[in-house]
Amino acid sequence: MNLDQRIVKSKLTAAAEGFRLDAYLAKRFSYHTLEKWRELIADGRILLNDEPVPGDNILHCGDVLNYIPAVLEEPPVDLNYSVIYQDADILVINKSGDLPCHPAGPFFKHTLWHHASCVYGKIYLVNRLDRETSGLLLAARSPEVAGTLSRQLPHLEKEYRALVFGEFTGPVNAAGFLVQDAASAVRKKRRFVFPEQVPENAGKICAAETWFEPLWTKNGISMVRALLKTGRLHQIRASLFSLGFPLVGDKLYGPDDRIYLKIRENKISASDWQKLRMRRQALHSYRLSFVHPVSREILEFTAPLPPDFAF
């Protein structure tokens, strides 16, 4: 990925075979109209196999499509991350709680990947955190090391700290499945179920296991230790919510998922923020342990809780 210019690249499948370029773009990427795609093609922002082509060019399976979007002003983020360990092969990074890891949506230069790559040379993030999750993650400094570490991902030890609503009184081994939350208006929301609770019409499910144990409780808030046994999307957040302990500050898995929709529509109110108790989701990647990809030494790192975790 180019560090100076954002380029969205995709390799075309058989589904694109025989389509005109402009018609395919309008059908596949409907966030622009056909007229807008034709305008972008004419401006040279669409390349096919690294060459500008007319809109009536016929596509074939295996063609490589590049889209060069206009440079837009990006939303502000917190770039106060720190590198707590580095050598010739890896970086261990302590990420802030308002920083996307990878380019996506309106974010390109305002990402951990871009900023760290400009400072340390191009990096390859091995594990990733949500924009609002703070704490430790691992980056490789070459594709070869990234491949070695990716194969090790199932064996990485990842421990988190979470602030939840409610009194979390005892340890729980949440071993079961993540399914779509049919009760939510938010399509991407998931929920955790134990094996005996899987609904008949669950659709796609994935196994998930997290060990939870309480650390303290005060004023209706509990600090919970979470040790990942698997690494699924939204695993900790969905599991805690489904166990009856929504995450402090979480717009989707917190006390009211309608806040997530309000955020998207820029309609969140002062009372919504008060209900959340925190501006971002209270999840922190606290400890990371892994085998160094070259020296084979076992390394372990911890990151102190950020100031906004003080309750």
pLDDT at res. 122: 95
List 95's β-bridge partners, or say none.
135
pLDDT at res. 1: 53
pLDDT at res. 257: 95
- Enumerate the domain spans of the chain: 8-67, 82-155+285-309, 160-280
pLDDT at res. 295: 96
Nearest to 38 by CA among 58, 20, 50, 51: 20
The model carries a pTM of: 0.83
Phi, psi of 45 (to 5 degrees): -90, 0
Q: Do domains 8-67 and 82-155+285-309 have the same CATH topology?
A: no
pLDDT at res. 169: 94
pLDDT at res. 146: 96
pLDDT at res. 2: 57
3-state helix, strand, coil in the chain (%, to 5): 25, 30, 45
Q: Crossing angle for the helix pair 34-42 and 21-28, nearest 10 degrees? A: 130
pLDDT at res. 195: 95
pLDDT at res. 200: 84
Per-residue pLDDT reduced to its tens digit, 97-108: 999 999 887 888
- Write the CA distances from 64 to 1, 11, 44, 174, 179, integer angstroms: 14, 4, 15, 43, 34
List 134's β-bridge partners, or say none.
284
Domain 82-155+285-309 is in which class? Answer: alpha beta
Q: Which residues of the chain have pLDDT under 50?
A: none
| Diameter of the chain measured on Cα atoms | 65
Domain 8-67 is in which class? Answer: alpha beta
Q: What's the CATH fold of domain 160-280?
A: Pseudouridine synthase (3.30.2350)
